Amino acid sequence: MFDVIIAANGISARMGFDKLSANLGDATVLNRTVNAFRSIPEIDKIIVVGGNAVELDGVVKVRGGATRFESVFNGLKVATATNILVHDGARPFVSYDLIKRVCDATIRHGSAVPCVKSADSIRRVNDGKIVESIDRETCLLVQTPQGFATDKLKEAFAKAVAEKKNYTDESEIYTEFAEPCHTVDGDVNNVKITTAKDLFGINARIGTGFDVHRFETSGNKPLKLCGIAVAHSDGLLAHSDGDVALHALMDALLTSVGERDIGVHFPDTDESYRGADSAELLKRVLFIVREANAEIVSVNLTIIAQKPKLSPYIEKMRQSLAALLQVSSEKISVSATTTENLGLIGDGKAIAAIAAVTVN
């Protein structure tokens, strides 16, 4: 009853990378978009125009054109169902209800275009000055999928070819060359992914790490925290250099991308890690995080020590972490606290650290 054309030939100029291949956790943007239509009983054929980089099963693939108009026109040539839906490949959150609503209205009215009201006021501007207020009730934001009787949309496209205009969507063409489109309620969650900001938070994950090390009393081990030397009589007992802060941080980073902890990655039964520089191990952890396609959004580190006094080192620690993680120091916060003289740490026998990181 319906074929659907998915326009997947965008060049993502505003993203700086292929937004349709961007990972949404369980699938790419384009895969998620296509999958939204698979469960709709009214859909006969899914026609994907462009989007060659993405592996898709059970769809008809059609070569994209230089413009959206050309791409959709190519898709229309293989459309055979009575009705057609046209949808943006970059709208992966389209709901079952919205697709059904558009299908039903297309059958009843010959066309259906989902629209939402603007939450912001709308003004016409000329030369940097507001020249007119526009009634929000009469001015709507247009989404996809847009539904049409296939023959009528094909006719409109055939007429529009001669115009060589840059049409932004099918409702513009249908309105100009066929008749005014019928509107249905859109869905504010049906966003079009346009910039990297639109993907922010979708893959956000949190990792936490905790570590504690006892002081070594031999007196000849330097104390290192966050990769910097801290003046104190004793260093921390460990198989490695004992940088308890970096150890907690590494566990936070590893767990944020679903990896096992540093004990698994760098076991203390392995002699090659004896006296290891934790900053070097952190570089390897960073590599694992990047391989998981994750970017560090924020780092929060708390060091728990009764002694030495750490406040003079906090800013230096922050800068050190920024350099080691290759991120801006604004993304990093470091704090220090004591245990009010309670327990092992309060007796000055150990230092602990807690880290929390967010990655996207």
Give contact residues for Mg ion (rule: CB under 5 A).
Answer: 211, 247
Q: How far is the CB of 278 from Mg ion (least distance, A)?
A: 8
Cβ-based nearer residue to Mg ion, 64 or 242: 242
CB–CB of 236/221 below 8 Å? yes
CB atoms within 10 A of CB 173: 23
Residue 357: CB minimum distance to Mg ion, A: 17
Of 88 and 211, nearer to Mg ion (C-beta) is: 211
Q: Are strands 122-126 and 60-62 parallel, antiparallel or unpaired?
A: unpaired
**Shortest spacing between CB 303 and Mg ion, in angstroms:** 13
Q: How far is the CB of 186 from Mg ion (least distance, A)?
A: 53
DSSP H helical segments within 110-243, as ranges? Answer: 150-160, 170-177
Helices (H) and strands (E) in the chain, counts: 10, 16
Shortest gap between Cβ of 243 and Mg ion (angstroms)? 8
User: In angstroms, rounded to a whole number, what is the distance separating the alpha carbons of residues 69 and 76?
Assistant: 10
Name the residue number minimizing CB distance to Mg ion: 247
- Rounded to whole angstroms, how far apart are CA atoms 356 and 360? 14
Residue with tokens 């956000």: 204
The CA distance from 277 to 284, in Å, is: 12
Q: Which is nearer to Mg ion, 19 or 247 (CB)?
A: 247
Name the residue nearer to Mg ion (CB basis): 103 or 248: 248
By C-beta, is 224 or 247 nearer to Mg ion?
Answer: 247
Query: CB 267 → Mg ion: shortest distance, Å?
Result: 12
Q: Report DSSP letters for 67-134, one per residue.
A: SHHHHHHHHHTT--SSEEEEEETT-TT--HHHHHHHHHHHHHHSEEEEEEE-SS-EEEEETTEEEEEE
State how far the Cα of 212 lies from the Cα of 205, in Å rounded to an integer: 24
Q: How far apart are CA 160 and CA 174, in angstroms?
A: 9
State the minimum distance, in angstroms, from the CB of residue 236 to Mg ion: 8
**Residue among 174 and 273 whose Cβ is closer to Mg ion:** 273
Q: Between 3 and 211, whose beta carbon lies closer to Mg ion?
A: 211
